Amino acid sequence: MKKKIVVVGAFVTDLVATMKEFPAAGESIVGETLNTYLGGKGVNQCVSVARLGGDVSMIGMVGDDAYGKKFLSFMDEEGIDHRGVFVHKELPTGLAQVQINASSQNRICVIPGANMGFGFEEEEKVKPILDNADIVMFQFEMRLDVIFDMIRYCHKKGKTVVLNPAPAAPIPDDILAAVDYLTPNETELAKISGISSYDTLEDIEEGCKRLKDKGVKTIVTTLGDRGCYIYNEKGNFYKGFKVKAVDTVAAGDSFNGAFTVKLSEGSSLEEAARYANGMGALTVQTKGAIPSLKNRECLEAFLAENK
Ligand code: ADP
């Protein structure tokens, strides 16, 4: 039977304005285009699981505003159960103001808003949803004290804990020991494990070993176009697919979603790695986050063509 996945994570709306040149301090300029995109690592991972046919629910918090409403109706469209998503009365829905100039440089200001409003009170309320889950996925775009407490709870209840430690932050030893699958990218691995270089597979293996010594069961490190490296009893490298990348936004999120869907179906690590590398490779071929998250049919056609 397919296992039940719950994603605990953030909602962020990206407001992307393009302009010839950034305004200087105190200056107003006229920009060119404005686009609004739904995102946040939690949402991206949840949508990726849903589109690949996983049985998934979302836990988190939006604001009582138009962006929050948009997220709720979007989750309905995607068939995602959002009974664990709260609406904060005062804080705005998480938002990123993104400015892009003619040379494609960006300046980004993130307002976490309601994502940081999810506290211990909400944690208490979602415990029945966590109790009902088999696999729970976390990232670091919410209050870390609350995330750590939820990880401890899930571990105690025997749930499979998948932690995507992004953006990287120091992780207490008892949390590392409660994680079944830790899924950093290479820079996050370096920050968390303390390795000074991540150029070679030996460097990556060293970082994984340090985390394994602290009790993480399996470390899945994503390596961009190189693929991924999975370490539990020993390390294995799984080569990525050769594709033309146009935008790497959400590659890590789609990888995490696909990997977890395969875990929920009882697949081997090797199969999960191939599936997740395939999903990441598909994602980088399309611009944006949500539009680049492909469905199962698409992914399986890609894998069949790239045996
Ligand atoms: P993040 O987005 O978190 O930095 P990565 O860049 O490591 O994560 O990408 C996640 C996964 O997406 C990789 O492990 C790989 O499978 C796939 N991927 C990323 N970039 C490419 C690329 N240029 N070509 C093919 N696959 C890619």
Bridge partners, 57 (sequence order): 6, 81
pLDDT at 140 over 80: yes
Contact 57, 83 (CB under 8 A): yes
* Separation between Cα atoms, residue 281 and residue 270, nearest integer Å: 16
Mean pLDDT of 188-194: 97
pLDDT at 200 over 90: yes
Backbone angles phi, psi at 246, to 5 degrees: -110, -25
| pLDDT tens digits for range 282-302 | 999 998 899 999 999 999 999
Strand 227-231, strand 218-222: pairing: antiparallel
User: Given pLDDT bands bounded at 50, 70 and 90, which one contains residue 1?
Assistant: confident
pLDDT at 307 over 90: no
Which pLDDT score, from 0 to 100, does residue 242 have?
A: 97
Residue with CA nearest ligand 1 atom 8: 252
User: Given pLDDT bands bounded at 50, 70 and 90, which one contains residue 83?
Assistant: very high
Q: What is the mean pLDDT of the chain?
A: 97
Which pLDDT score, from 0 to 100, does residue 178 have?
A: 98
Mean pLDDT of 210-227: 98
Which pLDDT score, from 0 to 100, does residue 33 have?
A: 97
Mean pLDDT of 126-152: 98
User: Given pLDDT bands bounded at 50, 70 and 90, which one contains residue 225?
Assistant: very high
Q: Residue 185 carries which DSSP code? A: B
* Separation between Cα atoms, residue 126 and residue 59, nearest integer Å: 8
Mean pLDDT of 74-80: 97
Best mutation site among 219, 241, 255 for ligand 1 pocket (most ligand atoms within 8 Å of CB)? 255
* Ligand 1 pocket residues where CB is under 6 Å: 185, 222-225, 227-228, 240-241, 243, 245, 248, 251-252, 255, 277, 280-281, 284
Residue with CA nearest ligand 1 atom 14: 222
Which pLDDT score, from 0 to 100, does residue 270 have?
A: 97
Residue with CA nearest ligand 1 atom 5: 224
55 an active-site residue? no
